[in-house]
Structure 1
Amino acid sequence: MRINTFTIYQFGKLVNKTYEINRESLIVISGQNESGKTHVRYFLTYMLVGLTKQELERFNYQPNHFFGGELTIQCDDKVFTLYRTDKLNHQLLVKDEQENDIPMDVFSQYVQRVNREFFDRIFHFDVLSIQKEQTDSPEQLGDLLLSLSMSGTDAIERTEKKLKKALERLFKKAGTNPELNQQLKTLESMEKQLKELKEKESGYHVLEQDIKEIEKSIDQLHDDIDEVKQQLFFYQTYQQLYHIIENYQVANRYLLEHSKPHVKREINKADVIAWHEKKRDLLQQVSYQQQLIERKKEKIKDSQTRLGEASFYQFLSTINDHESYWREQHHIFLQTKTELDRVMTAIQDEKRNIGLQLDDEMVQQLALPKENVAELDTMTTLYKELDDDLTSKQAELELLLSEGDSLSYERHQLEEALLNDYERQDIEDAIESLKRKHDRAITPKQLLPVFSLASGVLIMTFIALYVMNSFQPFIIIGLMMVYMISLVSLIYVKQRPKVSAREVPTQQEENQLQHYYQVLTRDETAKRKRDELTRDWLIFTRDVEVKEKEIKKQKERKTHVSRNIDRFKGRYPFLSHVVEPRYSAVLASVYQLKCLLEEKATLITSLTLREEKLKQFKQSIIDQCDITEQTSMEGMLKLVRHQYDEHKHARERHTELTEELRGLEDEAQQIEATLMPVVDALAEAYDAYHVKDFEAFIAQHEKVIHYKEMIQQKSEMKQKLELRFSPRALKSIFSEPLINERLLKEYLDEHEDKKQRLDDAHMSIMKQLATLKAEKQQMESSTSYRDLHYQFQMKREAFNQQANEWLMYKISYEQLLKTKRLFQASMLPGILDKASEVFRAVTNNRYHSIDYDDVSKQLFVTHGQGQLVAMELSQGTLDQLVIAIRLGVAMVLNQSIDLPFIIDDSFVHFDEGRKKRLLDYLSQEQRQSFYFTTAPKERLTDYQVIDLEVE
């Protein structure tokens, strides 16, 4: 996936911004603080994976603009546009090149969707997260870097530390301080005490057996009581609902003795009575309406004689209805003539503007779509821009070559100061010889200060001894002997220079030695300067190569554009007579002339058709009406309108009479239509009840109503009984005859007595049970046993909870270690290979590879002199190692997730050389990277730079 353009409608302080991105993999977004880099970075994150609610509130504070924007991406040969706006509630909308909506499941086949946390951990880099991922403890650095290689962050390493700390806090196999160890020891002691207390009770088991037998008897007694209560409840309810049961059985007997009256369907009695009365009234209205219709027909016959021919009236009516149309046609005819004159004038002006002799027919036959005009205009503009840019780049190349000449001259000047190996060896031998000779020629002048100092010390010693009254003879004699020996030695040394005077170095030799040192110094300085010039020369050759490639590419584009312009000249030969800068202007004028000629032909055709149409219209009026050809269009229309009004009045009167007759007939039909349903309804009602007249219907209806009332009564009584009795009790009630009231009272008294006897027995046995339980409670509820048993239960519950917590941590920790082992065996080698590739590029091959030691659990790097573990690296190199591992994880683990890197000035602690090499590496990768920096764009000329300062 590659981002081609992104447009910001409104995002924070950025409003209506569009940024074009070329085909390069690395895009640098440059700007000082508060220039909008953070807004652009968060906008890209928002478009790709979305933002949290708090982040959206941070950037959505301008209500007068549409929040969000759009992002155009290319996946293989497909181009999609991604939209997120506040109108869409920040939902992602995807469209293709034809503006068709793309479903998310189809879009996911090209770009896999990820959540925000995954995107930040893998694809987002910033200097704070890189510094945070480094630890102060060198011993833990290996685990941290392994965590980085697994997930891109220190999450794995932090999780492992937390789990291990939690396990050690809860339990150790041979420990005493962990919480579970202490609790287990306490529980064992309490359980032993409980057993001792419980064994002291002798008859406890016998008492428990007696209690169980009594509880079993109580359960049986409960069953008997429940059965008696059910019987008692049945008879009590039967007595309360005695009247309802009696009514139910009366209704049931009636329904069994009488059959249901035979009717097709039931009819409301009131409806039949209303239909009978309405039929009588409607028959009277039909008779009166027939009399009115006969009188209206006689008036219509008198009006028929005053009407004229229908065809002539139809003609007048048609002319009158289309009067506005013909007026408009006449007006359009005049406007068309005026428009034709204007077009003719514009054609002449355009021909003079072109300045070429072009035939109208040839211009009209030209295949000249509007797109060709716009394309030629674009080509000429682009050709001029390319020519100007090529001139500028050639001037830059000339300036760069002049700098190369200066470098070459400086390198030539250095050759005089450089020594070869033989010259350097000779000079060093001569210096060594002079130094040995200089060391042998030590003059007595160098020894005089020493003896002067010794004489002073001797005098000070005499003074001190005098002060302390310690002038012993042997001390004075010893000091004098030392002084005499010193004087003899000084005199002897003074005589030695006379013998070896020829060994003292001359002034010429001293000058020669100084000259040798100056030559060696100039050689060392020249070597350093030569190294600097060599580095500058490599940079110069690379810049020249890049600039020559750009010039070559620019020339190819210019040639391609020139061929396209020549293609237009071949297609339109008249451009050969036009100077180059006016190609697009002349072609645009020819296109305008072609449009005018087409408009002229259209206007002439339209004018001819309208003129012929108006002639035919006038002739039709002359043929039908008494009008001369010299009459104007206005006069013709006025005469037609007058004759039409006269005929119209006569026909309107005839129409009014006809409408009145039709109204009377409609009223009669409505009355008959109203009567027919009533007659049909009565006939249907009589047929449904199998009767012939109204009186027979009333009698049959009364029978049906009474039968329905009995059915309703039976149903209501049954529903009331079902609410109070069980289905089994209802079955006996419906199947057996009604119980006598006296017998029912005897049943009630009998079950009341039985219930009382069972309650008394239950009370007695419950007292016996309470006595036995009190004895049992007295045996097992002593203060020591109860307190100890309660404490034991509480501590055991707390122990179980913490044991479950320890087991959860144990399983999680073992699973994490298993995952790390699987990762080291399967994916870690591939990630370290990719990270090593990045590390070599950043350090300019100073370090060769990154490896992991399974024994020491440490990451180490290999270089020319050996190996270094990660904790021995400098802070700057460690930053580069973390970056390399982060990039390795993102490139290996997420090859199926094609999303760009977003790097927020993460290389701020790199020196310029390493930063440049890392940026070059990212620019050569297939994956797109966005690098946000405060560095000015003048330092980043090798990449595409979006400068936010000029916005």
Structure 2
Amino acid sequence: MKIKRLEISGFGRWSQEAFDLSDGMQVIFGQNESGKTTLRAFIVGALFGFPTKKNGHNVYDPKDGSQYGGSLILETDEGDVKITRLNRTKTTLTITRLINQTEIIDPEKWLKQKLSPLTREAFDDIFNFNQEDLTRISQIKSVDFQKLLLNIGAVGSTGWLDVMAEFDKSADKLFAPRANKRPLNIAIKEYENATEELHQKSAELDDFMLAEQALTDLESQQNEQEEKILTVSQQLQETQQLVQQYQLFESAKKIEIENVPSVDEKQVVQARRLQIEIDSLNDNILRHNEALKNIEVPHEVSDDNTDQMVLTKAQVAQRNLAVNTEKRTNLLKQKEQIEAQFEGDVPKGLTDSELQSLSSSNVYLLSTGALILILFVSIFIMHWPALWMVILSLIVTAGLFYKRQKKNQIRQMIQKAYSPLNIQNIKKIQPEVDQYEQQKMDIQSLNEQIEGQYDSLIQMIQPIALKLDIQILSDSLELTIAQLISVQQQESLSEQSKRSMYVQQQNQIVTEIQQQQEKLSEKLNEQKTIFKEYHVTDLHELQNTLDQYNKNEQLKQRYQDIMNQIDESTRQELLKYDDETQLLEQKEKQQKHLTILQKHAFELQSDIAHYKAQQEQRTSNDQFMMLQQDLANQKTELTQQFGEYLAKKMSVKWINQALQDASQNRFPKMQQLATDYFQKLTAGRYVNIQFDKNTLQVVRNDRQKFSVVELSTGTQEQLYVAFRLALSQVIKDIINMPILVDDGFVNFDLSRKQNVIALLTDIGRNQQVIYWTAAIHNEHFDKVIEL
């Protein structure tokens, strides 16, 4: 059972509000006083009835005067239903099936059956807890906490443990072995003193003592009789429990489990899906065959393709014309780019000597210096006169100066022609200047080709244009040709398109039929493979095989569940009886025996009363009788007090034993789950939980064992949470309810809180968990409702 939506008309601080809840781990986040606990109380009230003002309970009256109550939308095994409870004092309950919007006739009975065997108290003990539960764990004694864990499988054990603790505490106030001031200790002491005083004076009263001895014998017989009654009562109670267990045991024996081969439900679903696809494919093939019969393809008509061929050639010619036009445009752009770099006309390219004249004058200076140096060296070696040396130097210098001036004149002419470029750019632009003349010739050639192509193209399309009454656009021949082709093809394509459409439809249908037939053959083979695996011939037989397998598995589970409720010793006892009649006969014999013993005890009590009356009459005015009376009064008071003490101590024992018996039927499975959960909660620190009679121990990862009383408070809380969550999983096959946790781990440290959140998230994969919290800063949740 899952809660899908809350619709609150008026409940506490919530009025006219709705909340959509998700499967799995649903987190509801809100600060203190934001209404988290109110939402949890609304869920419990909608399921089990709203609280009353008895015992000072909070009834959550709406603060704004809205109508009290609201609705829950639940997902059940019968589909989604809407449970609506309105008004607090005169509550009305309606349950609506959402699939057909019909109301259930007897909603109280229907809801009680769906929630059975849960009551509000059982729901709180198993599926609903908060921080107060963990706080209470930290406040009780460790030994009492161990009892709580051992009896957690019994619904309502918490209340019984409180009663048991109260009885034990009250009994200890009456008597303690080494105490002197407890009421029962004082009474025993006074009784012993009075007895001693009475014995001192008993020698004078032989008759009284004889009678007293007889009275004592009778009282001893009465005590023995009471012990027999107690023994037979216990035996009768055990027999009654065997009778109750025998019915379960017999029902398990009557379960007939067959040896049915396993069936993979996924393959059955696959076979059903294949059958649906096979039926669909057969329908499609039949429909396509009918459509194929209704298609009539018109006869093909002859077309004159001459104009079409001409226009095709015209398109080719137009593309060539466009290519040459684009080439001319590119050349013109290049030519314009070169011309834009000069102020006047584009000059001619430079010769090698002209390029050399643009070189730096540093060469001239170096050569002049070197020549003069050579002359000086030569004159010095040959011992020429100084005059000759001066004359030669002047001649060489004049020649070099003349050559330099000539080169400067050439450089100035070049710079003027190439203005405004500098010498570096003049050298760089030489390849483009050299290509300039060739570009002009190429442009002239392209102009001649374009003119010829244009005239030829006009002559080619003009007859067709006149025929089709279309004006030739000289500036857009491509558009004109496209218009001619379009108009020329309209008539011929009209008929061709119809025929092509029919042929295409026909071919498409044939292709689809072939594809459908191939798919059909493939699906049939897949289905036959599944049928062959389970030795069946059709889907109906396969479904019957699956149903038989599921039924047999349910019987196995039912048998196992019943056997889990009966412990091994009880099963061995039940095997001693051939049928239930023997048990009933034994129960009847024990009942008769108990009646006889009770009757005999009543007779002994009457005799004792008779003897006591005689003793009182015999010594009514005697001092001894007064002592006897005082002693009798003390004995009566002591007996009453001691009876009260024993009753409370026995009640503690019986309650504890009853809770243990109630929990042990489901304890093995719960113990296994609790061990797994406890290991996760403690991050692997504790690896096992062992249960032996009345003792529970946990095993650490180093194999060291600890009793519950030796654990820290935090670890005890983790152990308690593990058992609570395990119990909710153990009874999930009987009743599957959402787990409600209201800020249950605010005192956990970060590591422990992360472990328990991870465990709740894991449980949420198969069972809805609703977690209210005021802090989600360190956790990441997929489904969060912020209040």
Tell whether the structures are fold-level matches, with TM greater than 0.5: no
Bigger proportion of residues as helix: 1
**Greater Cα radius of gyration, structure 1 or 2:** 1
Q: What is the TM-score of this pair, normalised by structure 1? A: 0.35
